[in-house]
Amino acid sequence: MSADIWFAVVALGLVLYVTLDGYDLGMGILALSQRDDARRRSLLDLVAPVWDGNESWILLIAVGLWGGFPAATGALLPAVYPAVIVMLFSLIGRGVSIEMISNADRWPKAWGRVFMVGSLLAAFAQGTVIGAVVGGIPLGAGSRFTGGTFDFLSGYSVLTGLATVALYALAGAAAVKMRSDDAALRVVFARWGRALTPAAAALVILAAALQPATGASGLTIGQPLRIALLTWAGLVAAVMFVSAWWSFGREDHDNLAFVAVAIAVAAGVAGVAVLFYPLILPPDLTIARAASPSSSLDFLLGGFGPFIPLVIAYNAYAFWVLRPRRRAAAAPAQAKERSA
Amino acid sequence: MSSPTVLELSRWQFAVTAAFHMSFPAITVGLSVFLCINYALYLRTRDPVYLQIYRFWRKIFAVGFALGVVAGIVLTFEFGLNWGVYAHDVGPIIGVIIGMEVATAFFLEAGFIGIMLYGEGRVSDKVTMIANVMVALGTLLSTTWILAANSWMQTPTGFVRVNGQFQPKDWMSVLFNPSFPHRILHMLFAVLIAATWLIAGISAYYLARGRYRPFSRRSFSIAMGLLAILLPWQLFIGDNVASTMFQYQPAKLITLEGNYNSRNSGYNVLVIPEPWADKDLFQITIPNLSALLGPHDLSGQATTPGIDTIPADDRPNIYAVFYGFRVMFYSALVMFATALVGLYLRLRRKLYTSRRFLRWVTWTTPIGVLAIIGGWITAEAGRQPWVVYGQLRTGSAVSHLASGSMIFSLAGFVCLYLAMLTVWIAYVVRQVMRGPDPIETMDIQPSNPPGGDPASQEQTAGSSATAPAVMTSAMGSGMSEARP
């Protein structure tokens, strides 16, 4: 029971990370679409104050898995070593470049490239890890990984990598709509959002559709309850994608696109959790067998659990305090001018 | 199992990434406390010099903190990436402790750092103060959890082993393991000293050139005052750490003493060991000193046990342990002596004018960080060949990886970290060259009472008298000198 609750906590960490760091990685990816340094800079200015707060959620996943499911951590990470290393290198380079660019007066070309390519690679690497896990990681004796270096890389994990890139870029476009006060930027990325919504949705649907063919043998979607829950997750995600697409076409409802993407991500993660349960690392490592003993889980639930709402509360406060100030009525007027 | 090359490469990678990460908290933990003190002093006195000090050091803190976070994320993943067996076996204990660190400390810092760095003008100065306190609290808590985890690996207690996995039996005895109380104190003092030394060094640089007078003078006064208080305590705490070490991890203490036989009662200043021949090729020894330092034997006769008393399979690397310790210990002695000279100069009212002293402090700016890295090398290399002392050998904790992966990742980390180190040092140097923002152009929040007029130096020194007791005593005679 406490292992299942903890599994839900790790899933919550995944939702928060994908939504929050997803959007600022997505802004880095979107910067690649712009030729104008000033516009890249506007994107970076949105990322600079929040990136390390957003990125820190990856630690909730990492330590949540390690403390709660040490067998899964010890098996998974060596199996996806190259992907995680590429992700770490990208996150490091990107973090440094953000600080460097914010402290520079102009747009330094080289650092700018590190920022954009780093965002892209980090997103892609994370996506391949998800694909590798869904595809299944066979383990040796004592739940240890004994396979080869590139076993994790397959057509399917490349597909999930691309889907992740598209999803993050979409979250980035939605966050621009929500947080930017730069009218021109909002117009450009509303257009991108309009295009990215169907693209991301298509890639996600493709990945979901191919899962039964390429997924690990331990995963089944047979049981009625599982089918019902998966259907619901799919429906929620579909409604959210449509809402985001609708919102990108309008000049009001600034928060809707981002909220919709966040809920779609939550539905997606919930769907994967439903698909996996009771496994944590397909094809055969179960939540129960990977879990720490109850003396550890109870300590985590009692000590860690109460902090999660608190952490979310003060992060939300900071997020609100540091929101860019809107130049109230001026913004929509300018936007019209531009689009005309 | 993995090849010996993979083990060696994994160990090097961990050493490089851990040492690199460590050099950031070594500064930022202490800086966060220093920033808190200065902002509190500013709110209390409304003296803009405190705000100027606060803002200058906040810029350096911000980048150091961000780099430390990024390098810290790497470590969190490495436990599982390179040490999969370790991650599996100690997860129920170390994974949980690191989890508590993330939940209670790290997120506290991450949540409030944005308000601390970007909140001025958006929130009231009380909220800024709270954000400062929360960030400082977060860094201190974080240090505490990490030290609890690491100390458990040095002196593990309160667990049972089930199929090789360590499972907690009594959390109190896991967390308050025998080496923890001494090591946490030692580390807290170390980070405070390292940050204060950095501040002292840079202020001394300004003072020696006569630049940014009120700013550099006050920073230097606070810093040297704190150091004169912290350093004697640190030597005393370090002695306690060594005593616990001798009781629980004798091999580490024996190795850092550097004798191969048990006949020496002197202190080895320098040795050139020949581990393959079980002897020291060359030794410089101060007679009787080790007896005095170690077992506190005033007769000077007590001898130190030799490395030959440790089974050959259980010996740590003497080069790392002996010299890691010497780097830390000699740095501490240099700092202690410097702090004493500073105290003497302050009493003679020459603290801000003795050019030789100021230049000396400038040149020793990074010495506190150096001491911390030396200390950690001693602690970690001295625990070898165990990853959990006496329980789990490092050699059996490593992941099944290809040596190609390891070469790729180690080479990548070395290149990236060298670049980052260059960027970081260049950033600090540039900030130092640029100097603090002049008070005249600082945007000070309108809540200031008219008393905080930047021009009135008299007012400045006078109103400082309301500062908390510790600070007042630390600044002592410096304040009277601050008057024009």
Question: Is B128 inside any structural domain?
Answer: yes
Question: Is B277 inside any structural domain?
Answer: no
Rounded to whole angstroms, the Cα distance separating B276 from B259 reads: 14
Residues of A numbered 297-316 whose beta carbons fall under 8 angstroms of chain B's beta carbons: which are they? 299-300, 303-304, 307-308, 311, 314-315
Q: Do B400 and A146 touch (CB under 8 A)?
A: yes
Q: Do A321 and B100 touch (CB under 8 A)?
A: no
Q: A340 pLDDT exceeds 70?
A: no
End-to-end CA distance of chain A: 59
Q: Maximum distance among all alpha carbons in chain A?
A: 66
Q: What is the pLDDT of residue A339?
A: 42
Q: Do B405 and A149 touch (CB under 8 A)?
A: yes
Q: Do A303 and B103 touch (CB under 8 A)?
A: yes
Q: A193 pLDDT exceeds 60?
A: yes
* Mean pLDDT calculated for residue range B216-221: 92
B222 phi/psi in degrees, rounded to 5: -60, -45
Chain B contacts of A148, Cβ < 8 Å?
A: 402
Q: Which of B86, B18, B4, B24 is nearest to B324 (CA)?
A: B18
Three-state SS letters, A207-232: HHHHHHHHCCCCCCCCCHHHHHHHHH
Q: Do A311 and B107 touch (CB under 8 A)?
A: yes
Q: B482 pLDDT exceeds 50?
A: no
Q: Do A96 and B427 touch (CB under 8 A)?
A: no
Q: Is B158 at the interface with chain A, CB within 8 A?
A: no
Rg (CA), chain B: 24
Chain A contacts of B112, Cβ < 8 Å?
A: 314, 318
Question: Which residues, including other chains, have CB under 8 Å from residue B193's CB and lie 6 or more apart?
Answer: B30, B227, B230, B231, B234, B335, B368, B371
Q: What is the pLDDT of residue B83?
A: 95
* Mean pLDDT calculated for residue range B430-440: 88
Please name the residue of chain B whose CA is at the shortest distance from the CA of residue A296.
B92
Interface test with A, best of B94, B123, B400, B423 (most A CBs within 10 A): B400
Q: B456 pLDDT exceeds 60?
A: no
B53 phi/psi in degrees, rounded to 5: -60, -45
pLDDT band at A231 (very low <50, low <70, confident <90, very high): very high
Report ipTM (2 d.p.). Answer: 0.89
Q: Do A49 and B117 touch (CB under 8 A)?
A: yes
- Residue B59 tokens read as 């810029």
Q: Is B209 at the interface with chain A, CB within 8 A?
A: no
- Residue B305 tokens read as 């046990």
- Residue A8 tokens read as 């839900």
Contact, A70 vs B88, CB < 8 A?
A: yes
Question: Is B275 inside any structural domain?
Answer: no
Q: Tell me: the pLDDT tens digits for A60-97?
A: 899 999 999 999 999 999 999 999 999 999 999 998 89
Question: Is B451 inside any structural domain?
Answer: yes
Q: Of the ranges A184-193, A214-223, B293-302, which is most confident?
A: A184-193
Chain A contacts of B387, Cβ < 8 Å?
A: none
Q: Which of B152, B242, B200 is nearest to B30 (CA)?
A: B200
Rounded to whole angstroms, the Cα distance separating B302 from A156 reads: 68
Average pLDDT, chain A: 88
Question: Is B79 inside any structural domain?
Answer: yes
- Residue A153 tokens read as 């890389």
Contact, A83 vs A125, CB < 8 A?
A: yes
Q: Which of B86, B61, B246, B224 is nearest to B139 (CA)?
A: B61
Rounded to whole angstroms, the Cα distance separating A14 from A28 reads: 20
Question: Is B226 inside any structural domain?
Answer: yes
pLDDT band at B315 (very low <50, low <70, confident <90, very high): very high
Write the DSSP assignment of B253-274 as a string of letters: HHHHHT-SSS---SEEEEEEEE
Q: Of the ranges A142-156, B223-237, B293-307, which is most confident?
A: B223-237
3 state DSSP class of B392: strand
Domain containing residue B175: 4-258+306-476
Please name the residue of chain B whose CA is at the shortest distance from the CA of residue A314.
B111
CA distance B123 to chain A (A): 8
CA atoms within 13 Å, Cβ hemisphere of A129: 22
Q: Tell me: the pLDDT tens digits for A259-292?
A: 999 999 999 999 999 998 889 998 889 999 999 9
Q: Is B92 at the interface with chain A, CB within 8 A?
A: yes
Interface test with A, best of B85, B96, B115 (most A CBs within 10 A): B96
Which residue stretches of chain A are H helix? 2-31, 37-47, 51-55, 57-68, 70-79, 81-103, 109-135, 155-179, 183-214, 224-248, 256-276, 287-290, 294-303, 307-321, 330-339
Task: Considering only the beta carbons, identify the residue of B98, B114, B419 that sits closest to A66.
Answer: B98
Q: In which residue are the tokens 């390098």 written?
A: B71
Residues of B numbered 24-83 whose beta carbons fall under 8 angstroms of chain A's beta carbons: which are they? 63, 66-67, 69-71, 73-74, 76-77, 79-82
- How many C-beta atoms surround the C-beta of residue B480 within 10 A? 10
Chain B contacts of A153, Cβ < 8 Å?
A: none
- Residue B390 tokens read as 């006496």
Q: Do A145 and B400 touch (CB under 8 A)?
A: yes
pLDDT band at A140 (very low <50, low <70, confident <90, very high): confident
Question: Is B483 inside any structural domain?
Answer: no
B210 phi/psi in degrees, rounded to 5: 70, 25
Task: Considering only the beta carbons, identify the residue of B82, B123, B412 that sits closest to A89.
Answer: B412
- Residue B222 tokens read as 């606070």
Domains: count for chain B: 1
Please name the residue of chain A whose CA is at the shortest distance from the CA of residue B86.
A74
How large a percentage of chain A has pLDDT more than 70? Answer: 94
Question: How many residues would you count in chain A?
Answer: 340
Q: Which of A236, A81, A213, A58 is nearest to A134 (CA)?
A: A213
Question: Is B351 inside any structural domain?
Answer: yes
Q: Tell me: the pLDDT tens digits for B241-289?
A: 988 898 899 999 999 988 888 888 888 888 888 888 888 888 888 887 8
